[in-house]
Structures are given as C-alpha cells and as structure tokens.
Amino acid sequence: MTHQRTEVAVVGGGMVGAAVALGLAQRGFQVSVIEREPPPVFDAGAAPDVRVSAISRASVDFLEQLGVWQQACAMRCHPYRKLETWEWDSARVIFDAAELALPELGFMVENHVLQRALWDALSAHSQVTLYCPARVTSLRRKSGAECELVFENGDRLSAALIIGADGANSQVRDWVGIGTHAWQYRQSCMLITVRCDAPAGETTWQHFTPSGPHAFLPLFDGWASLVWYDAPDRIRQLQALKLPQLKDEIMATFPARLGPITPMATGAFGLTRRHALQYVAPGVALVGDAAHTIHPLAGQGVNLGYRDALALLDTLTRARDRGEVWCEYSILKRYQHRRMPDNYVMQSGMDLFYAGFSHPLAPVRVLRNLGLMAAERAGPLKRRALKYALGL
C-alpha cells in the first residue's frame, strides 16, 4: 500500500473535471486526476460520437485560455451561426451571431474529442499526476479539512482540496453527505447520428411539440445529430427499432426541412433535474453535473460546468495570491455563492420551457406561441437573453 499527497485531487477526468485540473496546474497548483478510463484515441476516419455538445462562445474562450481549443478544432468541430426555435411556423424565433457581431454562436463538438484534447494537455503537464485507470472506493476526513481518497487497490491519496467532477451520480457528493433536490422529467432523450443527403449547414434548430422537442445539430462533412425528446415508453419503442425502421419514424415525425437522412447510430437516456443543496463542504468542492443537472433542450449542461470551472479557478487563485488559505471552507463558499444562483436561474428557465411546451391544451399553445412571437420582436431584450445564454 502506498500513500501519496497532493494539493488538489480531481475525481473525474471528463470534459469539466479535466478543464478544472488543467487550469489549476497552469496556475501553479499540484494536481492529481483520478479517472476510470481515458478517452479513446482520436480516429479521423471514424463516424462521429453519438454524444455531442454545443459549446458556447464563452466556453470556447475558456478553452482557448487553457490552450486546448486549437487541438480540438484540429481534430474536428463544426460552427453554428444561427439557432431557430418554433412550434408554429408563424411563431419562429431566430438567434443569429450577427446580432451580437460574433463570428459564430458556438461549435458542435463530440464529447470524446474535447476530452481527448484536454487529456493530452494534462498528460504533458509537469504539475499533473494522472491515476488512470483507477477507482476510488471511499473518502475519509483527516485532521482539519484535509481529506484522503482510498483506491480500490488499497493506495491512498491525501489532498488539501478534493474536487468532485464525477458526474450526476457523484460518489464524492454522497461521501461528504451533500444532498440534492431532484426529480425526473416525464421525458427521455434519444440521440441519433445521421448522414444528410444535403450539407448540414450552420444552423441548429429545435421544433417544439406537445410530446417533446425535435432538434437538429449540424456536424462536419454532412453528418448531423438529431435529438428526439418523448415519453420514456416511446423512446424505448424507438430504441427497439432497426435503423431502416427508425428512419421511417424520423421522416414521419421531424419537420420537412430535415430533408433526406440516413440514421447511423443511436443512444438514449432519461432526464433528471438535480441540484446539490451545497456545492462545497470542508475540503471538498463540486463542479459540473456533480453539482447540478439540467434539461438539455438548450444545450447548457457542459457550458454551465465550464462556468463552474472558471469561477472555482478564479476563487482559488485570488485567495492564494492574497495570502489566504485557499482551501479553507470559507474560501470555497465564495465559489458556491458565485455559481449557485446562476445555475438555479438557468435550471428554472429550462423547467419553464419544459412545462410550458409540454402542455397540450389549446389556450396554453396559443399563449406560448404568442410568447415566441414577442421574443422574436423583443430587440435589445432578445439580444440580452442571447448573451446570457452564451455566457457573455
């Protein structure tokens, strides 16, 4: 059995955990990252991953600061410059990068591409120790706020700060006794990677229906990702279909503007809204899905995680530079105060959209489409809402 020490231990080396770890290392902290398995090696000839994220302009800026965005783009990503949302054709909201004088609203990036770029940077950094593949089985409180992680093989790692970036079912969160507010939406989500007969373009769109939205995410070289929200029973039914049968269902259900497509791969998951009652405990901080999950209809999940990462990096660095004990609970609570309200507002906004557009009554449908018409004509308010969604 070995016993190692580090300043910061990050449990979870996904897109958010790896970004936090890299940012801390670049700011001079000694960092250890614990991850069960590394991301796959990038294969330029492979079909795109089913798991795709819409990376906002603010998240791109953060990844550029970390020095990994160029590598991610060198693998593959695809810009989107417009976002359209509608239920009735006459009540369409269009967000355009040109409204904010931006070159694009963001980029569609496969999750494993972004994780690979971050992982390569971590592997090359002298301040980072990677434990992978590795599994942590428990967290023990030591003297003061210091904590100790115990690995499956009996090894131990002590840290002044442990960052839980281990996803929605966070063990770190459970080990330190942080509860959550949580409920399941009455929808599941199906992701479908498709080949388009026509170029996918640079517009992402979402068509609302009472059973759930249908979304189109353009990818590189004529590839695209479809997102189908529906009742869990309906999604299970779709999962059981062979790809040619699924194609028939897509063509019968999605808007005609989709055009001819060929489904190539699928994935599905249930939708749960979670919010940790605290983001921090003595010696521990939560980021990303470990702290909050959100309905994915606006593609904000990973972007909120990157806002967490940036806020935590700023909080710890400022405290250290002022000569404060940067890992103290009182310092960590500054991070919580910065991030919890913002995440709550975004969650609540998505819940409002979900509830408002899931109601089948005709008067409610009229009201929500009138709301979309008003949003399209809102001028400065529309631009302000777009800037907030982009993290600008």
Q: Rounded CA gap, 191 and 189, in Å?
A: 7
* Tens-level pLDDT at each residue, the chain (392 residues): 588 999 999 999 999 999 999 999 999 999 999 999 999 999 999 999 999 999 988 899 999 999 999 999 999 999 999 888 887 776 677 888 888 788 888 999 999 999 999 999 999 999 999 999 999 999 998 877 789 999 999 999 999 999 999 999 999 999 999 999 988 878 899 999 999 998 889 999 989 887 888 999 999 999 999 999 999 999 999 999 999 999 999 999 999 999 999 999 999 988 888 999 999 999 999 999 999 998 776 667 799 999 999 999 999 999 999 999 999 999 999 999 999 998 988 887 777 766 666 656 555 555 555 555 555 555 566 566 656 566 66
Q: Which residue has the tokens 């269009």?
A: 94
pLDDT of residue 213: 87
Q: What share of the chain is helix, strand, coil (3-state, %, to 5)?
A: 40, 30, 30
CA dihedral 160, 166, 171, 177 (to 10 degrees): 60
**C-alpha dihedral sign at 79, 85, 89, 94:** negative
Tell me the two tokens of residue 354: 């979900």
Q: Interhelix angle for 15-26 vs 57-66, to 10°?
A: 50
Q: Give yes or no for a contact between 376 and 92, defined as CB atoms under 8 angstroms apart.
A: yes
Tell me the two tokens of residue 178: 């942080």
Beta bridge partners of 53: 109
Q: Give yes or no for a contact between 171 and 289, defined as CB atoms under 8 angstroms apart.
A: no
Q: Rounded CA gap, 33 and 12, in Å?
A: 7
Q: Would you call 145 helix, strand, or coil by DSSP?
A: coil
Question: What type of residue is 309?
Answer: A
Q: Which residue has the tokens 């890992």?
A: 327
User: In terms of pTM, does the model score above 0.95?
Assistant: no
CB crowding 236-259: b at 16 or more within 10 Å, else e? eebeeeeeeebbeebeeebeeebe
Count of alpha carbons within 13 angstroms of residue 189, beta-carbon side: 19
CATH topology of domain 3-44+111-182+273-356: FAD/NAD(P)-binding domain (3.50.50)
pLDDT of residue 245: 97
pLDDT of residue 270: 86
CA distances to 87, 226, 298, 354 from 350, in Å: 16, 19, 7, 6
Burial class (CB in 10 A: 0-12, 13-18, 19+), 190: buried
What is the CA angle 328-281-24, rounded to 5?
60
pLDDT of residue 103: 87
What is the CA angle 205-244-232, rounded to 5?
60
Sequential DSSP letters for 249-309: HHHHHS-GGG-SEEEEEEEEEEEEEEEES-SEETTEEE-GGGTEE--GGG--HHHHHHHHH
Q: Which residue has the tokens 């991953």?
A: 49
Burial class (CB in 10 A: 0-12, 13-18, 19+), 88: middle
**C-alpha dihedral sign at 93, 99, 100, 103:** positive
Question: What is the C-alpha end-to-end distance of the chain, expressed in Å?
Answer: 48
Tell me the two tokens of residue 248: 């028939």
pLDDT of residue 182: 83
pLDDT of residue 392: 60
